[in-house]
Amino acid sequence: MEGNLYLVQDYLIFIGVFAIFLFLAASIYLFGQNQRLKNRNLKLNAANKLIEQKLNDVQLEHIGTKLNPHLFKNILNSVQSHAYQTYMSLDKLANVLDYILYESNNKFVSPKEELQFALSLIEINKIKINPLFDFRIKSKIDKSDSIFEEKVFAPLISVDLIENAFKHTDFLAQDSFISIQMELEGGIFSMKVSNKASLKNVLPKENSGFGSQSLDQRLKMIYTNFYSLQKNSKNGIFTAELTINLGEFYDKMRYS
């Protein structure tokens, strides 16, 4: 009888020790989780402060009078649409705003700078797309090209074609897609953007943002005979293809 009493006591002690162990393990786990959440919140707060500073810079520089305000609206809507990716989105947005603030005021930037900006802009827009959506991007850039780092590229030339593809795509259609191809080789830059157009948002041709008049005007004023911009619509698919002979344009700049 006394032996059984000892067994019961040992069992109760074991249960007590095990309960204390579980309590300590749970406390350590919850403490670790709390610290990770605090660290994540600190990063998000830092990113928010950074983006607020960038937006203040935008206001001070009156950037709204120089660029299409829809660009900022679309970017911010993309960032807001997926809160779980906010930190990375704000980081990309900060890079985009840096480029707009400090590079777009220049008459020319390098293809390297413009292409980095275009890729960041694409990444921001991709946030609002379903991961299963048919999005295709192909970039073939010859970094050894002689004009890759020369100031021959009019800043923000790539904005219209990218923005309008995301703006006017029917993301719910089963056969919907966006395709973006960029290439730099032999001094020639080419960009081809195609997308399945949304029938709900198609605007009259004279008011359409696709291949906007501002883009046409800038290309004519800057690159005159050194570019071509072709646009067409067939079976609900819009396609815009821009080609600029940056090599010949650069030669003209140097010797004129």
3-state secondary structure of 233: strand
Q: What average pLDDT does this structure show over 69-81?
A: 61
Note the pTM of the prediction, 2 decimals. 0.63
**Comparing 8 with 45, which gets the higher pLDDT?**
45
Q: Residue 149 belongs to a domain with what CATH number?
A: 3.30.565.10
Query: In the prediction, which pLDDT does 59 show?
Result: 54
**Comparing 25 with 41, which gets the higher pLDDT?**
41
Reported as half-sphere exposure (CB side, CA atoms, 13 A), residue 155 has a value of 19
Is 177 within a domain? yes
Is 70 within a domain? yes
Is 40 within a domain? no
**Comparing 38 with 237, which gets the higher pLDDT?**
237
**Comparing 54 with 169, which gets the higher pLDDT?**
169
Place of tokens 């937006």: 55
Nearest to 126 by CA among 164, 172, 79, 190: 79
pLDDT at 148 over 70: yes
How high does pLDDT run on average in the chain? 76
Q: What is the DSSP string of 133-198?
A: SEEEEEEEE-TTSTTTTSS-B-TTTTHHHHHHHHHTB-TTSTT-EEEEEEEEETTEEEEEEEEEB-
Counting the structural domains of the chain, the total is: 1
For 160-180, write each residue's pLDDT tens digit.
899 888 888 888 888 889 999
Q: What average pLDDT does this structure show over 123-132?
A: 78
Query: In the prediction, which pLDDT does 17 show?
Result: 55
**Comparing 211 with 168, which gets the higher pLDDT?**
168
Is 222 within a domain? yes
Element spanning 120, H or E = helix 111-126
Query: In the prediction, which pLDDT does 206 show?
Result: 40
Is 30 within a domain? no
Is 29 within a domain? no
Name, of 8-22, 64-78, 121-135, 197-211, the range with top average pLDDT: 121-135
Is 19 within a domain? no
Strands laid side by side in the 227-234 sheet: 134-141, 177-185, 188-196, 237-245, 227-234
Is 42 within a domain? no
pLDDT at 91 over 70: no
For 177-199, write each residue's pLDDT tens digit.
999 999 999 999 999 999 988 76
pLDDT cut 90: percent of the chain above it: 28
Residue 84 is part of which domain span? 61-255
